[in-house]
């Protein structure tokens, strides 16, 4: 089949109109394709050495592949298909289209097709980005298989638009790499903030802070300022209390689904665990479903005020969001409505700190659930002075704000990258390279 016919079959607008100085190429024409293999796992001598053995689990996190979960020995690499540095690895079984560039001589398993690019035809970094842009072809080829598979022959027929000028390829890759570098730097900063936060929470919820904002001396430094409690040594100005002592604990409910008047035209936000799990952010101000006033009156659902902690207590346990508007929940929550003696955000962070302890209260055969009784008895630490609670709250809110700001930056740069890939890897927008002349 001619390459133009393949492009037509793939129904890709990008592959039907390419600019002058570009051509459509099959992957099989741009380099040597090597399908990986797995040395016998029955032979221990093949493993636990220093050679990387790349599987799909090692690909897709960063551009360059520098490590692997499994390693091969010298004997193992001898019976494998060793690949040179700069080879581009693409997953072709299971999760299709994850791609990375090898930074060490190594081998891959059979789920990966590796391309040793012909440097006279294509720049390997350009090929890396082109595979990201056009990986959808893999899914088209694989079709609706239980385990998606694209074999070596099929992979070799993947069509890519390629500038004939290597300098143009390299320039395109450089532009996209600059965005990747910013994203990677921002990810490292986020990870740094998260590690700092983890350490801060440990200190803040065991030592607290002085009026000037400094951490109290540790128990080891000044044991006389601490007292022994069921939750360990804590500052003398703190008390151990139960959630039931500092909060009104509200269970949720579900209006009868068979009554349309309880749901249709509803204006009262009605939260389920899916509204707060699997998404970022610390607050909730809208829900997927809404109920009517009649539905509220005729069910066990109850309105909770803004500033309440919606905490999951069934199946998924201990996930929390603070509501910004009045709402109610289903029975998958134990909502904490704090009394005046405790700050909502202080309590939020402390429940995050004690999340594993709260999860451990779950019981049940069908699914785990924490009862209202056990939630009521759950012990927490409460500084006597609301000012200290707010100081602790502010420290953690500030670091969370920094994390969220950088996460938003990553989202922004990912959008920029997607737009640039669409423009640059189709030739819609051309880059200037040395020797170009303005028309």
Whole-number CA gyration radius for the chain? 29
Range of the domain at 292: 238-383
Q: What are phi and psi of 149, to 5 degrees?
A: -140, 135
* Whole-number pLDDT of residue 9: 52
Are 115 and 264 contained in the same domain?
Answer: no
* Whole-number pLDDT of residue 68: 97
Are 123 and 243 contained in the same domain?
Answer: no
Are 11 and 160 contained in the same domain?
Answer: yes
Query: Quick one: DSSP state of residue 86?
Result: T
Token pair, residue 238, equals: 């703190």
| 222: in domain | no
Domain count, the chain: 2
Q: How many residues does the chain have?
A: 439
Token pair, residue 283, equals: 């607050």
Greatest Cα pair distance in the chain: 84
What CATH number is attached to the domain comprising 121?
Answer: 3.90.220.20
Are 253 and 348 contained in the same domain?
Answer: yes
* Whole-number pLDDT of residue 2: 62
| pLDDT level of residue 14 (50, 70, 90 thresholds) | low
Query: Of 201, 105, 123, which Cα lies nearest the Cα of 162?
Result: 123
- Summarize pLDDT for 207-253 with one digit per residue, the tens: 999 999 999 999 999 999 999 999 999 999 999 999 999 999 999 99
What's CA 177's distance to the chain center, in Å? Answer: 21
Kindly report the three-state secondary structure assignment for every residue of 4-55: HHHHHHCCCHHHCCCCCCEEEEEHHHCEEEEECCCCCCCCHHHEEEEEEEEC
* Whole-number pLDDT of residue 18: 86
Are 14 and 146 contained in the same domain?
Answer: yes
Are 301 and 157 contained in the same domain?
Answer: no
CA dist., res. 137 & res. 142, Å (int): 9
| 322: in domain | yes
C-beta atoms surrounding 299 within 10 Å = 20
Of 356, 383, 410, the one marking the end of a domain is 383
Per residue in 322-339, is it b (16+ CB within 10 Å) or e — as a string?
Answer: bbeeebbbbbbbbbbebe
CA dist., res. 291 & res. 304, Å (int): 14
* Whole-number pLDDT of residue 150: 95
- Stretch 57-84: mean pLDDT, rounded? 96
Provide the angle, in degrees to the nearest 10, between the axes of the packed helices 166-204 and 386-424: 170
* Whole-number pLDDT of residue 366: 87
CA dist., res. 137 & res. 92, Å (int): 11
- Stretch 287-309: mean pLDDT, rounded? 97
Pick the more confident residue, 13 or 340.
340
Of 149, 164, 179, the one marking the end of a domain is 164
Residues 410 and 183 sit within 8 Å (Cβ to Cβ):
yes
Are 158 and 243 contained in the same domain?
Answer: no
Nearest 10 degrees: Cα torsion 377, 378, 379, 382: -100
439: pLDDT strictly greater than 50:
no
| 378: in domain | yes
Are 122 and 243 contained in the same domain?
Answer: no
| 438: in domain | no
307: pLDDT strictly greater than 70:
yes
Are 13 and 155 contained in the same domain?
Answer: yes
Are 138 and 261 contained in the same domain?
Answer: no
| 396: in domain | no
Are 41 and 150 contained in the same domain?
Answer: yes
Cα-based distances in Å from 72 to 53, 65, 78, 202 = 6, 16, 9, 40
| 214: in domain | no
- Is 393 exposed, middle or buried (CB count within 10 Å of its CB: 0-12, 13-18, 19+)? buried
330: pLDDT strictly greater than 90:
yes
Of 135, 164, 193, the one marking the end of a domain is 164
Percentage of residues in the chain having pLDDT higher than 70: 95
- Stretch 288-304: mean pLDDT, rounded? 96
Are 15 and 138 contained in the same domain?
Answer: yes
| 218: in domain | no
Name 338's bridge partners: 247
Residues 152 and 33 sit within 8 Å (Cβ to Cβ):
yes
* Whole-number pLDDT of residue 435: 63
CA dist., res. 133 & res. 161, Å (int): 11
* Whole-number pLDDT of residue 279: 65
| 197: in domain | no
C-beta atoms surrounding 257 within 10 Å = 9
């Amino acid at each position: 089949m001619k390459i133009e016919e393949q492009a037509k079959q793939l129904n890709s607008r990008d592959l039907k109109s390419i600019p002058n100085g570009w051509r459509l190429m099959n992957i099989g024409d741009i380099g040597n394709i090597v399908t990986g293999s797995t040395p016998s796992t029955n032979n221990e001598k093949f493993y636990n050495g220093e050679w990387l053995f790349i599987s799909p689990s090692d690909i897709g996190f960063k551009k360059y592949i520098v490590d692997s979960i499994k390693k091969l020995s010298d004997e193992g690499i001898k019976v494998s298909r060793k690949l040179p540095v700069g080879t581009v690895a693409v997953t072709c079984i299971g999760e299709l289209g994850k791609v990375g560039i090898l930074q060490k001589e190594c081998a891959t398993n059979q789920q990966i097709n590796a391309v040793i690019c012909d440097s006279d035809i294509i720049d390997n970094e350009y090929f890396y980005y082109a595979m990201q842009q056009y990986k959808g072809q893999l899914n088209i080829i694989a079709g609706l298989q239980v385990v998606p598979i694209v074999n070596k022959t099929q992979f070799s027929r993947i069509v890519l638009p390629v500038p004939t000028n290597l300098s143009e390829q390299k320039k395109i890759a450089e532009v996209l790499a600059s965005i990747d570098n910013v994203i990677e730097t921002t990810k490292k900063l986020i990870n740094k903030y998260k590690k700092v936060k983890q350490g801060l929470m440990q200190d803040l919820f065991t030592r607290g802070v002085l009026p000037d904002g400094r951490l109290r001396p540790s128990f080891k430094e000044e044991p006389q300022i601490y007292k022994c409690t069921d939750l360990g040594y804590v500052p003398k100005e703190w008390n151990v209390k139960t959630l039931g002592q500092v909060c009104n604990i509200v269970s949720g409910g579900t209006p009868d689904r068979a009554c349309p008047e309880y749901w249709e035209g509803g204006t009262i936000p009605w939260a389920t665990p899916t509204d707060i799990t699997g998404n970022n952010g610390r607050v909730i101000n809208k829900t997927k479903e809404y109920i009517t006033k009649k539905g509220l009156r005729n069910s066990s659902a109850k309105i909770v005020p803004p500033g309440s902690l919606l905490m999951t207590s069934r199946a998924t346990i201990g996930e929390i969001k603070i509501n910004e508007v009045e709402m109610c929940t289903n029975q998958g929550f134990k909502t904490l409505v704090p009394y005046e003696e405790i700050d909502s955000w202080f309590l939020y962070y402390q429940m995050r700190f004690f999340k594993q302890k709260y999860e451990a209260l779950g019981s049940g055969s069908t699914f785990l659930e924490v009862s209202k009784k056990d939630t009521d008895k759950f012990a927490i630490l409460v500084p006597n002075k609301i000012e200290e609670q707010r100081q602790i709250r502010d420290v953690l809110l500030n670091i969370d704000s920094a994390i969220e700001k950088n996460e938003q930056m990553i989202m922004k740069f990912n959008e920029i990258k997607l737009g640039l890939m669409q423009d640059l890897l189709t030739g819609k927008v051309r880059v200037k390279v040395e020797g170009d002349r303005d028309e």
